[in-house]
Amino acid sequence: MSKMSEEQNEQQKTLYHQKAHNIEAETPMPLSDNLEVDKRVTANGSKKQPLYHQNSFEDGGSTASDILHLYGKKNTARVKLSISYSEGGTRSYLEQPPSIEDCLETNDDFRFQSRTCKCLPKRYVLALLSFFGFFNVYCLRVDLSVTLVAMTSNHTRVRADGTEYTALAEFQWNRELQGHLLAAFYYGYIITQIPGGYIAARFGGKNLFGFAILISGFLTLLTPLAAKEHWVLLFVLRLVEGLCEGCIYPAMYSIWSRWAPPMERAALVTIPHSGSYAGSVAGTLLAGYLCEVCGWSWVFYFFGILALIWVVVWQILASDSPEDDNHISNVERRMILESLESEHTSQKLSDDLPWFSIFTSLPFISIAVAHTCEGWAFGLIQTSFPKYLSEALNYRIFKSGQYTSLIYFLMGFSTFVSGQLSSCLRRRGVSATVLRKVFTGVGFILSALSFMIAPNIYYHEISAGLLIFGAGLEGIAWAGFGVNHLDIAPQYAAILIGITNTCATVPNIIVPIVVGIISKTGERSDWMLVFYISGLTLIVGTSFYIVFGSGEVQPWAGGVENEEGEKESLLNDFSTKEDMDEIENDNETKDVANENKIDKES
């Protein structure tokens, strides 16, 4: 490329001076000897929009893509440039990332800018990583419940040539001992919820999340060896694994308190939650398959290695906050930080926590009540639904397992869809309080009705289908109370989820005992009472939450509702230019009114 003549250089200086003063070129950029066109071709042969790059001037200071990006149908430049001159030539560079106000003033599409050169915003990359993290966690959690059958009873195995044979039980553990081995995980799980929340809020959730799964994966690899040595070693191993995984939810909420814009909380938080249900389904099915084909030991080897691989990816790509992330665009980082500026989530957690205010806050108590009721219903499905299908409806174990997996699938699907829908409505101006109460109420009431109606239907397929459908829709509630911790106290969200998740874990221990007492005979009438109690529990939880729940930041949480909420709602949505103009005009009207008020006071 030949050097620029003095005349061409002066023309370029004039052009960039205009850009530096925010004069936007509405006609295509003129091509000169120092501009080259990158005409990219897509896979189907169609040409993409040309991208013009400014080559180096005499001082060699400018770069290709840092000068300007031309986009739009007319290839018009719509970015601001700052200019500085030196003796050797001209250097051009982009200003700092535009703020929310800049985007509104220039009518630029903020979403488009935040995704330039990215197929997915970093916060959604983090959500996908979290999805697979929870997927791994629940695979590690359910593996023993499946393999314990193969370990303690005769079962069918398949040889490499496809023939079947009967494998004898390797361990002679009675039912009581098996129950303690399965419960060992929850003994540890319930202990570390609140301490894990404090650690995550104080020091960040990324390393805690990764460390918890790292230790769990490593212990899973040691499970076959521990089981063959002595059942006490297996019990201790599962106990420690529960202690580690008790930190998972607090760590994740700590991360989202710094990453999730208020208008996107439901969409982002429910993605990892849906991963827990996907892990329950996949873990159960894969464990059963591996037991038949490879033997029960390979279940632990497979899931342990999978967890360790995930930890490596997580540690490379994840970070505690946008400030610490090296893979996020400047525009997305600034948008997230400005949207959370009033919530103080980036500040260090003080030693003087408002414990009294937390435990006497009715909005928080309502979340705890709702979470506990959800834990009761989920505990019933998890521990007793297969037994109901077997005893009351006379279904075979294999069919009962399929139906239970179907419930987990529906829960994951409804959790994900409800989260996206909730965020969509939030962007359109629906208050957080209304959305949290509506989604919690819909999820709980539908499940309660199915619990109370289905046992009275004597057509087995209809009864089972109604229970599956109603229990699956319980996932809708996660877009309500499940996100509410971040609404009322973003800075303390990790601690709050630790407290409520502790409350929700207690029913997992109590439900099997209650079911065992009520359904001694296994008759349908006994099971009716079991499901009536569960349905009534959900109705009570819904009523309490609707009366006392809130989506507003609480006074003891050290902040007020984000004043930039409406702007963020606009910029995170597929908003039109007219909508942006309307917001800008409203802001100008408010500024004029404030100026007039100041003049009158003067």
Confidence of residue 344 (pLDDT cuts 50, 70, 90): low
Residue 43, token pair as written in the block: 């896979």
Residues 320 and 384 in one domain: no
Residues 266-304 pLDDT 10s: 999 999 999 999 998 898 888 888 887 888 899 999 999
Number of folded domains in the chain? Answer: 2
pLDDT computed for residue 99 by the predictor: 47
The Cα–Cα gap between 489 and 485 comes to 6
Q: What are the two backbone dihedrals, phi and then psi, of residue 48, each rounded to the nearest 5 degrees? A: -80, 170
Confidence of residue 572 (pLDDT cuts 50, 70, 90): very low
Query: Which of 342, 374, 409 represents a domain boundary (last residue)?
Result: 342
Find the DSSP H helices in 1-62: 6-20
Indicate whether 521 pLDDT > 80. Answer: no
231 in Cβ contact with 464 (< 8 Å): no
In a domain? residue 515 = yes
Residues 314 and 379 in one domain: no
Query: Which of 319, 342, 365 represents a domain boundary (last residue)?
Result: 342
Torsion of CA 565, 567, 573, 577, to 10 degrees: 160
Helix (H) / strand (E) element for 501: namely: helix 493-518
Find the DSSP H helices in 230-264: 231-245, 248-259
In a domain? residue 141 = yes
In a domain? residue 13 = no
Confidence of residue 345 (pLDDT cuts 50, 70, 90): low
Residues 290-299 pLDDT 10s: 887 888 899 9
Number of residues assigned to the chain: 602
What's the mean per-residue pLDDT of the chain? Answer: 77
Residues 313 and 364 in one domain: no
Residues 158-183 pLDDT 10s: 666 667 767 667 888 887 788 888 88
Q: Give the CATH number for residue 188.
A: 1.20.1250.20
The Cα–Cα gap between 405 and 315 comes to 31
Mean pLDDT across the stretch 305-310?
96
pLDDT computed for residue 514 by the predictor: 86
Confidence of residue 312 (pLDDT cuts 50, 70, 90): very high
Of residues 248 and 348, more confidence is placed in: 248
Residues 324 and 457 in one domain: no
In a domain? residue 297 = yes
In a domain? residue 463 = yes
Residues 374 and 461 in one domain: yes
Mean pLDDT across the stretch 135-139?
94
In a domain? residue 529 = yes
Helix (H) / strand (E) element for 580: namely: helix 577-601
Residues 553 and 435 in one domain: yes
The Cα–Cα gap between 374 and 540 comes to 11
Residues 324 and 379 in one domain: no
Of residues 309 and 146, more confidence is placed in: 309
The Cα–Cα gap between 201 and 204 comes to 6
Confidence of residue 37 (pLDDT cuts 50, 70, 90): very low
> For helices 524-548 and 432-453, what crossing angle results, to 10°?
170
Residues 312 and 364 in one domain: no
In a domain? residue 65 = no
Residues 329 and 363 in one domain: no
In a domain? residue 25 = no
Residues 275 and 366 in one domain: no
Indicate whether 567 pLDDT > 70. Answer: no
Domain extent, residue 359, equals 355-573
Give the 3-state secondary structure of residue 389.
helix
287 in Cβ contact with 405 (< 8 Å): no
- First-to-last alpha carbon distance for the chain, in angstroms, is 63
Residues 388 and 338 in one domain: no
pLDDT computed for residue 379 by the predictor: 87
pTM for the model? 0.72
| Among 23-37, 308-322, 485-499, the least confident range | 23-37
Mean pLDDT across the stretch 228-248?
93
| Among 95-99, 194-198, 512-516, the least confident range | 95-99
Residues 294 and 394 in one domain: no
The Cα–Cα gap between 543 and 373 comes to 11
